[in-house]
Structures are given as C-alpha cells and as structure tokens.
Amino acid sequence: MIAKTDTAGSASRTEQYGLIGHPLGHSLSPVIHRALLKILDIPGDYQLFDLNAGELQRKIPELMATLDGFNCTIPYKKQLVPYLSDLSPEARRYGSVNTVYKGVGYNTDAAGFMATGFHYAGSRVLILGTGGVSHTMAHCVALAGAREVVFQTGHPTEARAWLAELSSAYPAGSFHAYSPDQLAKAVQSNAEGFHFILNGTPAGMWPHAQGLPLARDLYRDLLGRHELSGVFDAIYNPVATRFILMAAAAGIRAVSGLHMLLFQAVEAQKIWHPERAADFDTAEVQARLTRLETELVSHLLEEYPVKLVLTGFMGSGKSSTGRLVADHLGKKVHYIDLDEAIVSRWCQSISEMFATVGEAEFRRRERAMLEEILARSGSILLATGGGAMIQDGAEAIVREKGGQIILLDVSLETALARSNGHNTRPLLNQDYNAIVALYNQRRPLYLDMADLVINADLGKAERVDLILRNLQLA
C-alpha cells in the first residue's frame, strides 16, 4: 500500500483528525485511528478535543477549517448538526452525527453495530435502555426486519413518543417499552423468549464491572430459553462484562462493544478516504483488523484493571489453571493463590490452622485476605480455596471490588481423583459420604454466583483456552 499523494504527485502532508466531546479522558479513539492510518500507510495523526458546551460555537468552525475530518461523541452528537452543511441519510434517520467530512455529518454507529453479524429478520429483540445507542440499535434491527422490539427502561411513559415514531417508520414491526418489573411479568406470561438481547446501558462498565443491565434471575431465565441466539453489549470496557460472560456460560454467542467501536472507526476512515475504502475488504487488512482488536483488548487490560476470581470445589484445578492463564497474559495480570497468601501471612499450613485455631478463625482470615488482595492496584487473577467464596460476605466483597467470578465446575469423581494424596486439604480427612454431602452442598452455591462456568473435567490446556476465549483475550 502507498501513501496518499497530492496533485503534484509528491508524498502528502500529515493528515489531521480528531474527536470532539466531553469528557474524553479514557477514549480509545486515538489508539484505534492511528492504527488504522498506519494500516492504510497514510501519514496522519488523531487528537482529542475535549470541549465545554460554551466552546462549540467558536471551535467547530475552526476545527472544520483545520482538520481533514473528525469524530463526535457524547454529549454533542445532536448539538453538532446546526453547524453542518448537510447530513447523510443515516445521520438524518438517527438524528445524530458521529463523523464529519467536508462539512457533512455522517453516522457510522449503525454500520459498527451491524458488523456484529447478527441476523434480525423475523426476530423478537430485547433492548436494554433508551439512550442514543439504544435508538440506533432499534432502527437497525427494525430495518433488518425484526418483528417485535421490546425496551426495558426506567421511564416507559417517556418513551411513548419515540415508540410512536418507530411504529410509523416501521409499520411491519411491533414496539413496546416496559419498566424492569413490567418486563419480568411480561416474560413470565409469555412462553416465547427473545432471539436477541442488546444492552445499551452503562451497567457493568469499568470500574463498576459488577453491574448487570437486567435482574440476574430474569437474565438467567432468558438465557435458558431455546430461542435466544445472540447477546450484544455496547460496553467495551471491560471487553467481557458480566452480561457477556453469563451469556457465554450459557452457550450463547456474545459480542462486545469493542467490535462495534472498531468498525465505527473503520467506516469513518472509509468516509475520510473514499479512494481507499475497498482496501478494508482485502484479506490482508481484515487479518490486521483482527490483530488490532486483540491488541485493543490487551491495552484495556493494562490501562483498566480487572479482578478475576477463580472458584470451585477442591481438585477443580484452580491453582494450576490460574497460573497458566497468568503465564499467557504475562505482566498484564498479577496471579495470586489465596491459600498461599494466607499461609505466608500467618506462617502456618492450612491444616495447621484448622488444627490450632479452628475453621471459623481460618475463614475469618481467608475473608480478610480476600478483601485485602482485591483492594490492591492492577489487574489480579485470584485462585481461591474451595470454601472461600461460599462463606458469608465473600461474594459481596468481590462485587464491591468490581470483580468477576469464574467457576471451574468439576465432577466429584474427577475432584477426588485429583485430590488423592493431598494432605494439605483438611476437609478431605472425612469419610466418603461426608465429602459427597459437602460437594452437593457447595456446587449449587458456586453455580449461583458464577459469571462464567468452565468445565473443569477438561485438560489444563482446554480449560485455559476456554477462559481466555470467553474473556476475549485470545
């Protein structure tokens, strides 16, 4: 690929692009667009322009005169429209602009969203939220032939005008808005589930990764229904939200907002460089885009720490699996074994603590160490003991720290085979029936709290691969 040239045929100047919005402190756009310019071999740069509302009237004409093109994000996607000479059909349809070129406003949100590859014709779609991205998703799925679109919103009466607008624009579709309680009742009374669930809310966004946009029990109900074939979360930080992980654990295809973010940017580059648009369809560029998406995941992991907690019955392979996952991720994640940390702190083995201070005191120490470790800076992968996460208050600690819980779900037979001869496991010093009872007591508790469930009867390599792929780290 060659750099763009000016009319004299010499190498072009460095092109200038940027993003306007407020606040912009954590934007990934410069990283993405600089990478895309490099892929196209175009000399260019991309800057952030964090503007207060009072600066728009003065700065917009200046930026349109000095930049080759720019993007726009919240809160100015609608406020920018009066400054533009024209709008693309998509920008008119959605009433908002996120890309500007030569004074014309475009909207690439829809193209980015549809890059997820879901097929909505004839489907029932549940959209969580009624903000800007939810509006775009609603238009997209209706255009694609969805027969019914249901919104969950805290203010269903305020959505009436918008529902009427959608019904008028797409008469073949059916549109409804429910409060969370109304939605739960509607789901209970309707035997048919949804084919797609799309999150347009910030619930689960870093640093509040414990959030879910749907009530957990309702979401699990919907995940268990045979109609559901896809879940999309507009959030891209973390890439694997609880919403995404729970879908993956249920075997449902789940797509992160990072994919949408990347392909929004690709569409913007096509607008700014129409003569190079076809390059994005080549096998070489597609492969580089795939690598770029993986690199963006790693970037997010380094910049925005996550707390991942492995739980499961003794013998599920938490320690060995955790070490291998951490080895794959390198310095991005700090691996800690909770039992080892406790032994190091109190200078006794687990068996000695059970014998000298009793299980109750050991659990207190275990809970205190859990809280201490999760409060540390940086991304952490924590392997816990079999009883650590099922004691009172443990899950709440993980959620308070924005953590996500990964269950290594092992069969009793495999657990016993792996644990045979391990004198460090005090609870194995019981008869077989007591161990069976303990397993049957704990497994439902593990399953209830888990965001992601991995079959721990699989070999180490397979367990590691499943964790990395579900976290979208491989």
What distances in angstroms separate CA 212 from CA 109, 128, 137, one per listed residue? 23, 11, 19
Residue type, 68: D
Assess whether the previous peptide bond of 238 is cis (omega < 30° from 0): yes
| Contact criterion met (CB below 8 Å) for 95 and 118 | no
Taking alpha carbons only, the member of 414, 173, 401, 183 closest to residue 309 is 401
Active site residue 77: yes
307, two tokens: 């707390």
Is residue 183 packed enough to be buried (19+ CB in 10 Å), middle (13-18) or exposed (0-12)? buried
| Contact criterion met (CB below 8 Å) for 86 and 59 | no
Residue type, 337: D
- Residue located via tokens 């654990």: 249
Report strand pairing: 99-101 vs 104-106: antiparallel
Taking alpha carbons only, the member of 258, 227, 214 closest to residue 112 is 258
Residue 158's SS3 state is helix
| Contact criterion met (CB below 8 Å) for 384 and 370 | yes
Longest dimension (CA), the chain: 87
Q: Whole-angstrom distance between the N-terminal and C-terminal Cα of the chain? A: 28
Which is catalytic among the residues 4, 38, 77, 401? 77
| Contact criterion met (CB below 8 Å) for 244 and 231 | yes
Strands (E), 244-298: 253-256
Report strand pairing: 230-233 vs 148-152: unpaired
Count of all residues that appear for the chain in the document? 474
What distances in angstroms separate CA 102 from CA 44, 56, 87, 182, 269, one per listed residue? 17, 18, 11, 46, 13
Taking alpha carbons only, the member of 127, 189, 116, 124 closest to residue 153 is 127
Taking alpha carbons only, the member of 250, 246, 295 closest to residue 36 is 295
40, two tokens: 């196209």
The set of catalytic residues is 77
